[in-house]
Amino acid sequence: MHTVVSTIASAAAIGAAAAVFGSGIAIADPDVTDAVGRRYSEAKAAFNEANMTPVVASTVGDKLPQDQCWVVSVSRATFLAQGGASRGDVVQVSLNCYPKPATGLNPGFSAGNNAPDAQAVRETSEQEALEWRKSAQGQRWCESALGKHPEWAPIEGC
């Protein structure tokens, strides 16, 4: 009986220690999460302005240049340099380098993903498309698209 109680107590102590000390390498920081949903070039400039060093932790897709990829997660790095000194304000970012949602013919991010990062990417992408359609080149595209496909009308921004 004593062995069972001490085993359960030991397991509980190990579980508590793991929860406190072993929660992972990076901790989410509310000050850096506003970069989610932005292009990496914009996020990188904002981090540099705040004296933070962005490091790409992971990338999904290969259809966009890195600066045009979407930031889908951010965490402040808490690892130390080789001698045990702090590495400074390092921010780890995860990127999605697909230009738009996946279709049957093209790879991409899941159009059905309703996580906040996916919604932010869609909103930014839609805003960029709307701004482009308002440009001279976009208006020419609108005329051509509506001429060939009148059933698409109305197209926002055209």
Question: How does pLDDT run across 49-72, given as a tens digit for each residue?
Answer: 888 889 999 999 888 899 999 898
- Mean of the pLDDT values across residues 38-46? 91
**Long-range interactions of 4-12: CB distance < 8 A, separation 24+:** none
- Mean of the pLDDT values across residues 119-135? 83
Cβ(59)–Cβ(95) below 8 Å? yes
Tell me whether residue 46 is in a domain.
Answer: yes
What distance, in Å, lies between the first and last C-alpha atoms of the chain? 78
Range of the domain at 42: 25-119
Query: Which is more confidently placed, 34 or 31?
Result: 34
Tell me whether residue 60 is in a domain.
Answer: yes
Tell me whether residue 79 is in a domain.
Answer: yes
Tell me whether residue 39 is in a domain.
Answer: yes
- Cα separation of 78 and 89, whole Å? 9
121 has pLDDT over 60: yes
Tell me whether residue 20 is in a domain.
Answer: no
Q: What are phi and psi of 131, to 5 degrees?
A: -65, -40
- Cα separation of 63 and 98, whole Å? 5
Tell me whether residue 100 is in a domain.
Answer: yes
Structural domains counted in the chain: 1
139 has pLDDT over 70: yes
**Residue 71: both structure tokens together:** 């930031």
Tell me whether residue 68 is in a domain.
Answer: yes
Tell me whether residue 148 is in a domain.
Answer: no
- Cα separation of 82 and 65, whole Å? 32
Position 34 scores a pLDDT of 80
Position 31 scores a pLDDT of 60
Is the pTM of the predicted complex or chain greater than 0.75? no
Please state, rounded to an integer, the average pLDDT across all residues of the chain. 75
